[in-house]
Amino acid sequence: MNEDKTFNIAQVVASTGNGGLERHACDLASGLVAQGHQVSFLTTSAVAPRVPKGVRPVTLSLDGNRRNPLVLLELIRTLRAGKFDIIHAQGSKAAQMLALILPFLPNACATVGTLHNQKKNVRAFRKLDWAIGVSKALSKDIGSDRVTTIYHGLPSFREVNPHEDLTSQGRPHFLAIGRLVEAKGFDRLIEAWASIDANLYIIGEGPLEGELEDMIRTHALADRVKLLGRSEHVPNYLKAADGVIVSSRREGFSYVVAEALLCNCPVLSTDVPVANEVLDPDLILSHDINVMREQIVRWIADIDAWKAKCESAFETASQEFTFDHMITKTVDLYRTLLKTQTIMRSQG
């Protein structure tokens, strides 16, 4: 197959949120278009307005029951009419829907599914031509010999300036970033911070905001712990912070870890992907609050040593977590799959 050939690609996104899955799909679509590929974004009415420039949005009723015959028929008709080379399902629901309609799709196309979070049922990914895990842990969960790990890619932060809010003198400044939900473990982090003499800024919004504010008051931490809300300037904060603390109970891929490492900001994290794949084991936090507190106190007392422990992770991030690397690995996979399809058709 011609290495310069461009592809007609359908991305199928059956979600309605505004999280890592949707961000990844939009970033990937934008990068593919920049390389000359044609991309159609088959998605819900909630996500369609966020489809990037140059990508063709196609609004379908994908937010309904994944086994609804009318929804599946609508998807089949759209995919057949599009004459796509690649059909790429983003997330578990899209992969399950794609797996159900495989017998009705043209043989010439290749099917791919990306798993973004831990799921109990991943059988659908094994039915597609290939699967992608956004961390090694998720690739292992898929349990197939037809799976590749491709980390989320992020832009370069070299030209980002430190945020002035975190450049004042006094106590060191640390960040925790993410949706204010149970999975992120901010409740445990606030409790652990009760005897830590440092500033903690939590960036994000979500349903637990009131509960977390109450915890801050209960532990008399208003002078040290602040909820900053959602911010469009996270890299600027990372450039200014002394370190990042990830207290998550579970993750599929932590954008926060990737962003922090790309900003050369040291990280402490609980035992979740992708932190546990790139950080030195000494930097993995216990889920026990008392032990977590002791670990945090130890490392913030010697930030230079903490940063030195992160050097290999900084290097890994510069190679594996970049936008260009994600696009290149994805296109290479597409090309290999289509080449295999061509050989199989010629032999058949």
pLDDT average, residue stretch 43-48: 96
Give the model's pLDDT for residue 334.
97
Confidence at residue 129, expressed as pLDDT on a 0 to 100 scale: 96
- Report the 3 state secondary structure along 85-125: CEEEEECHHHHHHHHHCHHHCCCCCEEEEEECCCCCCCHHH
Q: How far is CA 2 from CA 7, 22, 36, 328, in A?
A: 11, 31, 14, 16
Mean pLDDT for 87-93 is 97
pLDDT score, position 263: 94
- Most confident listed range (73-87, 144-158, 159-173): 73-87
Residue 18 has pLDDT above 60, yes or no: yes
pTM of the model: 0.88
Which long-range contacts (C-beta less than 8 Å, at least 24 apart) are formed by 127-135? 127/99, 127/102, 128/89, 128/95, 128/98, 128/99, 128/102, 129/337, 129/341, 130/333, 130/337, 132/330, 132/333, 134/24, 134/252, 134/253, 134/274, 135/252, 135/253, 135/273, 135/274, 135/277
Q: Among the listed ranges 45-49, 152-156, 165-169, 332-336, which one has the minimum average pLDDT value?
A: 165-169
pLDDT computed for residue 184 by the predictor: 96
Q: What is the mean pLDDT of the chain?
A: 93
Q: Does the pLDDT of residue 130 top 90, yes or no?
A: yes
What would the two tokens of residue 325 be?
A: 């690397």
The arithmetic mean of pLDDT across residues 98-124, rounded, is: 94
Confidence (pLDDT) at 107: 85
Percent of the chain with pLDDT over 70: 96
The mean pLDDT of 213-226, rounded to a whole number, is 96
pLDDT, tens only, 172-212: 999 999 999 999 999 999 999 998 999 999 999 999 999 99
pLDDT in tens, 238-295: 999 999 999 999 988 888 999 999 999 999 999 999 999 999 999 999 999 999 999 9
In this predicted structure, the answer to whether residue 346 has a pLDDT above a threshold of 60 is: no
**Given a cut of 70, is residue 36 above it in pLDDT?**
yes
Q: Which domains does the chain have, with CATH numbers?
A: 8-153+322-347 (3.40.50.2000), 164-320 (3.40.50.2000)
pLDDT greater than 60 at residue 347: no
**Crossing angle of the two packed helices 255-262 and 311-320, in degrees rounded to 10:** 110
The lowest-confidence range among 162-166, 198-202, 221-225 is: 162-166
pLDDT band at residue 161, thresholds of 50, 70 and 90?
confident
CA atoms of 157 and 164, how far apart (whole Å): 16
Q: What is the pLDDT of residue 120?
A: 86
Task: Tell me the C-alpha to C-alpha distance, in Å, between residue 133 and each of 25, 79, 84, 179, 187.
Answer: 13, 24, 22, 22, 29
Q: How confident is the model at residue 171 (pLDDT cuts 50, 70, 90)?
A: confident
Strand intervals (E) in 141-260: 147-149, 173-177, 199-203, 225-229, 243-246
- Percent of the chain past pLDDT 90, that is, above it, reads 84
